[in-house]
A and B are shown apart, each in its own frame.
Chain A
Amino acid sequence: LVRFSRLIPALVLLAGCPPAERPPVTLTVAGVGDPLTLDPAAASDSESMQVLVQIFEGLVRYRAGSTQVEPALATSWRVSPDGREWTFKLRRGVRFHDGTPMDADAVVFSLERQRDRDHPFHLPGAFTYWESSFRQVKEVRRVDRYTVRIRLDRPFSPFLANLALFPVSVVSPTSMRRLGARRFADHPVGTGPFRFGSWSRGRRVTLERNPGYWGGAPRVERLVYKAIPEAERRLVALTSGTVDVVHGLAPSDRQIVSLHPSLKLFRVQGNNVAYLAMNTQREPFDDPVVRRAVNHAVNKHAIVKLAYQGLAVRAIGPIPPVMWSHHSGTRRYPYNPTLARKMLEHAGYDFTRRVSLNVMSTPRPYFPSPLLVARMIVRDLTMIGVKVDLVVRPFREHQKATQTGAHDMCLGGWFGDNGDPDNFLYVLLDRDNARRGAARNLAMFSNDELHELLIRARQQVDRGRRERLYRRAQEIVAEQAPWVPLAHTDVMVAARRVVRNLQVHASTAIFYRRVVKR
């Protein structure tokens, strides 16, 4: 019997079926590079953003497929009649990945740490988003365990949309105190659907699912972000199945992806704009008639087809169609070189003068090939007799040069930070931002009525009234034509067909909360 019983394990082995450990359901995402930091307050690059939105959440978030906000860690909010006090009721029972509860103290900690320069966890100079978008916050205060009040120094209606930005995510104070602000950036702890696993610098970031996520645990158990800088290798990795999702897809790869039966292409209209700005404070573009003539002269259709490979929509104004308050009924400038020429002659344009067009040589997300666009514009303007000199510089220098306002024309583009029209109209076209040296308003456009409208809209809380103000503002911009609005670029993401329920947002963020991999 003894000898016999020894045989049994051997038999089991012979059968060769010990139950294998099931590997976790893993989703691998390939991006262009490594995140720079995983401290939400200090991050500003899009690779960091992609990872941070999985780990962290703010008080509010964007609704899927829209730039409007919906409750996240806050369940409801109220703004005082003077627009300066925002009171948020927090979601109860939410826990950070380290097990500590999320409450008013954590929210106060996360925001005050950015606002208060004397805060023990303030990193001087690191919080660029706060400096640019949250300067109006005067104080963040706890009212009770689940209520937070934020006081602003002036009414500022884009504030709620700003709160959906990733830098104002709620971080775990316990973990940050334990690790310190610098080490926290390598070991982030938030409340999001995924928690941090590991980070091998320059190669990959691994996230694990948060089984206790308040919105229901994600179906994907592990999320891996791989850095693959070369576009071609990303495509190979995708077709061979080593990665499941790729963002930063080259336009030329788009058709191959759609020919591949096991791949899927996600195209979302982007929250951005690319435009040609004319310096309204210098001759000859100080004359609105000349500017309108240029608008008639540029063949946007050809630009969108040739330079964007059709992966963009023609722009008719600064506000992209995905943004609320987008106005499609403003004055239009159909392509008509003959009319343009006549308008110039009528305006007494000096056809002997030469104007400069500043162009960046580096491709931008909103300009996949800026030089091609510039050359097409030059050709269109030459057709109506306007002589143009191209001034080509790398992006940083281009930016510096145009901010001084010494150009006649220049190419510009903008990716919306938040889901608010103010972020486009005020930043890019208000006279406040036409200061020479630090101009965001590259057309140096200064219009009193527009200024008044934008300031009123900033202080107006009611959404319907704001929308009316912004629609009027867009009419003024179309009428005055400081720009030739060119295109709104689509956000492109390719994924394997086995990946379901991928949520690509206009802000380029991809959400994996409900993703299923079959």
Chain B
Amino acid sequence: VRLWRWINRSLGTKLAVVMVLVALLPLLTVSALGARIALGRLERGVMRQTEETAQIALNLLLRRVQRISEETTRLAETPELHELVALEPELVPRFLSVGAKLRTVALVEIALVDRSVAARVFPGHRRREDWARLFSKPDSPHLTRALNYERYVSFECVDGRVVVRAAAPIVDSTFVLRGAVVTTMPLDEQLADYIRGVVQAEIGFLAGASPVASTFVDSGGRRVAGHRPSGDQTRAVERGRTALTQAMVGGREYALAFTPLQTVGGRRIGMMVVGISLRHLHLTKRSALRSLLLGSAGGLIFAIVIAYMMGRRITVPISRLRESTMSIAAGNLDLEVDVVTEDEIGDLALAFQTMTTALREHQERLAARVRELSTLHQIGRAVSSVLSPNEVLRLVVTEVVDVLGAERGVLLVADDDGGLTLSAAVGLPDRGAGERLPEGWRDMARRVIEQHGALVEGTSLGVPLETRDRLLGALVAGRRDRAGSFSEGDLRLVVTFCDQAATAIENARLYDEVRRFSEDLEQQVLERTGELQEANRELEQALRELKEAQAQLIHSEKMAGLGTLVAGVAHEINTPAGAAHGSAQMLGETLARLVDRLRQLLESGVAPEAASAFFATANRIRDAQATRRPLSPIVIRRQSRELAETLEGHDVPDAKRLARRIVEARGVAIVRHVMELSGQVAPDLLVGLLEDLAYLERSATAIQTAIGSIVRLVRTLKTYAHADQAAVVDVDVTEGLETTLTLLHNALRYGITVHRKYDENLPKVPVFVDELNQVWTNLLQNSTQAMKGEGKIEIETFRAGDHVGVRITDDGPGIPEEALPRIFEPFFTTKPRGEGTGLGLSIVHRIVAKHGGRIDVDSRPGQTSFTVLLPLEGPAAGAEHADAR
């Protein structure tokens, strides 16, 4: 606390403390940080070096492995070995001990195809019992592979050790498999020493995670097994990564890198560890820390001295300035500030003095200006509130004279041709005219206008009156001699005022002009209205004429439509009529034949009971005839075959042919009679009778059908015409559509398929039936023509709110986009000349409009649909009914 108080006592002390802190803190932070980074890098460098050394050692080990694999293959390919293995296996051991280079580092075995080992040699630096643990067993996988023509090399874990195992097949020159060479090299101290000699770092091998052999030694120079990695490190290695750590091994600290050893299948079975001593790193760290401490202490002392000196240079002038300020605050404005430094504090003192002087002068000027401005404001408001030009002019002059304290003043307004007219005056004799203007004023006014600037001459003052784009005139004011001349201040005041006044004058003038112009306009409008009414009457007349012409045309289009319709109907009737005619003709011929056959039957003297039974059956068959479908050829063939067999069984002659005829006449039931009677009557005759009867029935049905369709058509036509139903009737639009479709049947028959999507719950709509049918006819005709007789039409009915809708869609080429807005106009057609009058859709539009409905079209290539919406409440009451004859 006492220290804090001492520091707080003076600015100098505070500054010194702050500067010491400011200078020293970064210095200390930076150097501590630097040391940390540098030392960290050093340490990381050692770790990285360890990791790199581990990689090099691993590559070296693998190179060694590869060499062993190559040597093994080479040995397996030796021709002498082939011969020995094939012919004299007992001599193989001798060959090995003489010829194989490998035996100095590894166990070499020669296996035969039966998996027995023919020979085995190993170097003598280890005991036989040690080697015996590494011998191949008959079911070892490496042996299996080699005896399957495959070369093999891998790390393996055998008996708690990691070994390199290589195997190669012995295949002789005729490609017969003779056996295999197996080489096994343990990862032992000897190999570790070899690698240590190359990479200059300690090396160790681990089986799983337990150390097996290494080059690490303790303080007594004895070998130690090595370091066992932690669980985390083991897991990292098992995932195939290199684990780095620092640990004590044999009493010394090492940076250690564990790298995995894996089988050819990727299973991690052991590790190799590389260790680099950390002694050098520790020495370096210690010396670096020492230098840092010394450097910091020196820096601290240096900073304190500098800070003290700088602090003094700043605090002395400040305290002088403080004294002067106190004295100025007491009111002594003329005081000289006695600060002699040339730095910012000296400048501050000078500026301080200048400031007080300037302050006082400004205060006085400000007060005068405020007075002028308040006067000006008052006048301005008065002038702007008046709108009559003359009034404004007079007011301006009055106010100027008043403000200036002058006795007289005039305002001269400029004409378009440059003349000046006296417009307002104050203080002049009452008769007021140009001649009475004081001497030199007009001249003065002209000059101020020319040079666009105010003038003061003796006791007279002239100011131009102008807005931004327009000259209005000039204002001249004067004092009598005794009052003296005008000052600069007066002039500035008047100029400012006149700027405002000019705007007010201009506004007043413009207002006046606008008022006069509007009076003119009213008169002109009255005249034009008369002319327009006349033109309107003429137009109405023309329109009436046009409407009559249009009605005429619509009628003729309808007649043309009717013509098409009649042609179609005629065709419709013609077809069934032709069919009926043909059938009737055949009927006659068949009857003649039938009579002839009946005669033959009678003459044959057949028993009447048998004949009657035959006819009873024949009649039954005939009755059924009409409702049956025709038989398929396959069925006919099958039934004929069966029947023929039955007939042949009864010795009926020509059975096959008869059977077929019976089947075709659907008379299988008659067979019984044919067989019964075959002794008395020719079977041909019986079958012929049956056929005639069947034919008669078919003809009668055909005629009936034909006449039926004619009757239906005629009825439909009647419905369509509805000549007697001009009134509104509730109808189901589906019926109307169906009627129209029936009538257009001819046009739609070929190539056009009609899909119906009728809403079954569609309510009835009150319509003019005959006219509505016309709508459907026109739309459908339009579609078929657009499609050129080929395609698909879809008719859909639906309910849409309080409307019933019908949508007719075709997949024709569509209506060109530019034509779309005009299709409902009369005489507009996209059909080729002569195919359409262009009234069809126009009529449709009118009829739909008459029903108070709406028609919409939506067209694009391949899909054009017309949607007609008819209101459920019927044609609007009181709507003007267009004549739709």
B is bound to A: yes
Query: Could you tell me which A residues sit within 8 Å of B by CB distance?
Result: 1, 3-4, 7-8, 11-12, 14-17, 236, 239-241, 252, 255-256, 258-262, 301-302, 305-306, 309-310, 375-376, 379-380, 497
A15 adjacent to B148 (CB under 8 Å):
no
A256 adjacent to B65 (CB under 8 Å):
yes
Contacts of B151 in A (CB 8 A): 252, 255, 309
Interface bits B136-153 vs A (CB < 8 Å: 1, else 0): 000000000000111111
Contacts of B37 in A (CB 8 A): 15-17
Partner of A305 from B33, B34, B150 at Cβ < 8 Å: B150
Docked CA distance A241–B59 (Å): 11
Interface bits B528-554 vs A (CB < 8 Å: 1, else 0): 000000000000000000000000000
B171 adjacent to A306 (CB under 8 Å):
yes
Closest 7 CB pairs of A and B: A15-B34, A305-B149, A261-B260, A379-B175, A239-B59, A11-B30, A306-B149
A261 adjacent to B268 (CB under 8 Å):
yes
Partner of A4 from B152, B259, B306 at Cβ < 8 Å: B306
Contacts of B33 in A (CB 8 A): 15, 17
Contacts of B69 in A (CB 8 A): 252, 255
B175 adjacent to A259 (CB under 8 Å):
no
Contacts of B148 in A (CB 8 A): 305
Among the interface residues B266, B303, B310, which one has the most CB atoms of the partner chain A within 10 A?
B266
22 A-B residue pairings within 8 Å (CB atoms):
A4-B23, A8-B26, A14-B30, A14-B31, A15-B30, A15-B33, A16-B37, A16-B38, A240-B56, A255-B152, A255-B154, A256-B62, A256-B66, A258-B265, A259-B263, A260-B59, A261-B259, A262-B242, A305-B149, A306-B171, A309-B151, A376-B175
Q: Which residue of A lies closest to B22 (CB)?
A: A4
Nearest CB in chain A: distance from B308 CB, A: 13
- Give B166-223 interface residues, CB cut-off 8 Å to A: 169, 171, 174-175
Nearest CB in chain A: distance from B73 CB, A: 8
Docked CA distance A299–B266 (Å): 30
A258 adjacent to B264 (CB under 8 Å):
yes
B264 adjacent to A375 (CB under 8 Å):
no
Given contacts A11-B26, A239-B62, A302-B149, contact A259 B155 (CB under 8 A): yes
Interface bits B261-275 vs A (CB < 8 Å: 1, else 0): 111111010000000
Contacts of A497 in B (CB 8 A): 240
Q: Which residue of B lies closest to A5 (CB)?
A: B23
Contacts of B266 in A (CB 8 A): 258
Docked CA distance A7–B175 (Å): 82
Contacts of A255 in B (CB 8 A): 69, 151-154, 264
Interface bits B236-273 vs A (CB < 8 Å: 1, else 0): 00001010000000000000000111111110100000
Docked CA distance A337–B23 (Å): 96
Interface bits B574-589 vs A (CB < 8 Å: 1, else 0): 0000000000000000
Q: Does B27 contact A (CB under 8 A)?
A: yes
Contacts of A302 in B (CB 8 A): 149, 175
Q: Does B748 contact A (CB under 8 A)?
A: no
Q: Which residue of B lies closest to A240 (CB)?
A: B59
B55 adjacent to A262 (CB under 8 Å):
yes
Docked CA distance A4–B303 (Å): 9
- Give B280-322 interface residues, CB cut-off 8 Å to A: 303, 306, 310
Docked CA distance A309–B59 (Å): 23
Docked CA distance A497–B260 (Å): 13
Size of the chain B interface, CB-CB below 8 angstroms: 44
Q: Which residue of B lies closest to A17 (CB)?
A: B37
Contacts of A260 in B (CB 8 A): 58-59, 62
Contacts of B27 in A (CB 8 A): 7, 11
Docked CA distance A11–B56 (Å): 38
Given contacts A255-B154, A310-B150, contact A261 B34 (CB under 8 A): no
Docked CA distance A252–B166 (Å): 13
Nearest CB in chain A: distance from B732 CB, A: 46
Docked CA distance A249–B310 (Å): 74
Partner of A375 from B34, B175, B268 at Cβ < 8 Å: B175
Q: Which residue of A lies closest to B306 (CB)?
A: A4
Nearest CB in chain B: distance from A408 CB, A: 21
Nearest CB in chain A: distance from B179 CB, A: 15
Given contacts A17-B34, A379-B174, A379-B175, contact A259 B55 (CB under 8 A): no
B153 adjacent to A259 (CB under 8 Å):
yes
- Give B693-722 interface residues, CB cut-off 8 Å to A: none
Docked CA distance A365–B259 (Å): 35
A1 adjacent to B58 (CB under 8 Å):
no
Given contacts A17-B37, A302-B149, contact A12 B62 (CB under 8 A): no
Nearest CB in chain A: distance from B873 CB, A: 53
Contacts of A239 in B (CB 8 A): 55, 59, 62
Contacts of B265 in A (CB 8 A): 258
Partner of B240 from A1, A261, A380 at Cβ < 8 Å: A261
Nearest CB in chain A: distance from B27 CB, A: 6
Docked CA distance A239–B262 (Å): 15
Nearest CB in chain B: distance from A189 CB, A: 39
B62 adjacent to A15 (CB under 8 Å):
no
Contacts of A11 in B (CB 8 A): 26-27, 30-31, 34
Nearest CB in chain B: distance from A240 CB, A: 7
| Besides the known contacts A252-B70, A261-B242, 16 further A-B residue pairs in the complex with CB atoms under 8 A apart | A4-B23, A4-B306, A15-B37, A240-B55, A255-B153, A256-B62, A259-B155, A261-B260, A261-B261, A261-B268, A262-B242, A305-B148, A306-B171, A306-B175, A376-B175, A379-B174
Among the interface residues B37, B56, B174, B260, which one has the most CB atoms of the partner chain A within 10 A?
B174
Contacts of A375 in B (CB 8 A): 175
Docked CA distance A518–B31 (Å): 33
Nearest CB in chain B: distance from A236 CB, A: 8
Q: Which residue of B lies closest to A253 (CB)?
A: B66
Q: Which residue of B lies closest to A307 (CB)?
A: B149
Interface bits B617-656 vs A (CB < 8 Å: 1, else 0): 0000000000000000000000000000000000000000
Docked CA distance A260–B69 (Å): 15
Contacts of B268 in A (CB 8 A): 261
Among the interface residues B148, B149, B264, which one has the most CB atoms of the partner chain A within 10 A?
B149
